[in-house]
Structure 1
């Protein structure tokens, strides 16, 4: 009867292997596209063995997914100024703050976010992750829109979910173009100005000031 292989207890060095893989992949993505990156490239950059890589990850898409999860963990509070603005307060500063926060986040993680946007449609794991993330942004936006509709601040002539999804995916696309430095979106202030104008016009029937 074959004996079952029991992995040895992981030492501090073993625990560092996973971080080395993540760091190496992130650094490599600053230099090349994700579809040009191989597991062998990661192994060489991280200085780890192939068996160690596959102990932690099934493939490079799993590494990218983990990097995205780590990165987006800091985005949950960016929309708070708008989501939590009190009744009667001008929503524009909160809208702009959230948009500027999103633009800054994309600029700081451009290589990672470009990689997932360009590859989620072809990998089931990345697709599930990205749709889950975008769905969560849509859900919190929808909740605020519904609250503003109930207060009479936002027109009720459009479905709040559809409007929230449209604004969320519009932002994703423009932030992506900004990450590619496509004009005029490469100018972060112009990007924030136009997105704030779109949000204010769509939600409150008035342009940004």
Structure 2
């Protein structure tokens, strides 16, 4: 995962590399340690001691950067959602983009984000069952996705490009999108092979196109 560390233009031009502050290194070490530990145990089982031992820092230093391990998980999930948004670019269908290509951009591209960040996203999805703050943040991000997809479905239906099986476009989008999110969660929790993931995506695409009412997915 990228640390988000960059160099100034003047440093690059002069051949100098920016000196990374010690605090920045320690903070990233905590994030990396927590994400690595998720490969060995659940987020609930991880202790602050586990994190500080893995990061090679003292316990007081942990609390200088984070109030709790839940805050670390929330940040990792936030970073993953940001990468998800950047990879997709827009949840609206591009001019000339077929519905089949629209699905591929939304969800095949999304899956490429889930794969390297699977541990954090799986743990984050599970944490929505007990962490109110993370649940609220995840719901907020979901709502933005639902609204934009429902708006696109309505525009396509009004243009006569699709015939959705329900006039309740918002609820239809919520149902299908939640199914896709759960499929991604299961895929990463089980660490499916690329071949198994490809079959999952093909099945989701067939369901998505039918739910969208794309009588001719090529248009």
- Tell me the TM-score normalised to structure 2 length: 0.80
Q: Which range moved further: 98-107 or 187-196?
A: 98-107
Matches within 5 A, 1:56-205: 56-80=65-89, 83-86=92-95, 89-155=97-163, 157-181=166-190, 187-205=196-214
Contact 1:81–1:97, Cα closer than 8 Å, also in 2: no
Quick one: structure 1 residues 81 and 189, their matched pair in 2 at CA, closer, same or farther if it must change by over 3 Å? farther
- Cα distance between partner residues in 2 of 1:37 and 1:186: 32
- Cα distance between partner residues in 2 of 1:200 and 1:80: 21
Give the C-alpha shift of residue 173 in structure 1. Answer: 0.6
Contact 1:179–1:186, Cα closer than 8 Å, also in 2: no
Unaligned runs of 5+ residues in structure 1 are 1-10
- Cα distance between partner residues in 2 of 1:129 and 1:16: 27
Unaligned runs of 5+ residues in structure 2 are 1-19
Give the C-alpha shift of residue 63 in structure 1. Answer: 0.2
Higher relative contact order, structure no. (Cα contacts within 8 Å, ≥ 6 residues apart):
2
User: Number of aligned pairs?
Assistant: 198
- Tell me the TM-score normalised to structure 1 length: 0.83
Q: Which residue of 1 aligns with 2:44?
A: 35
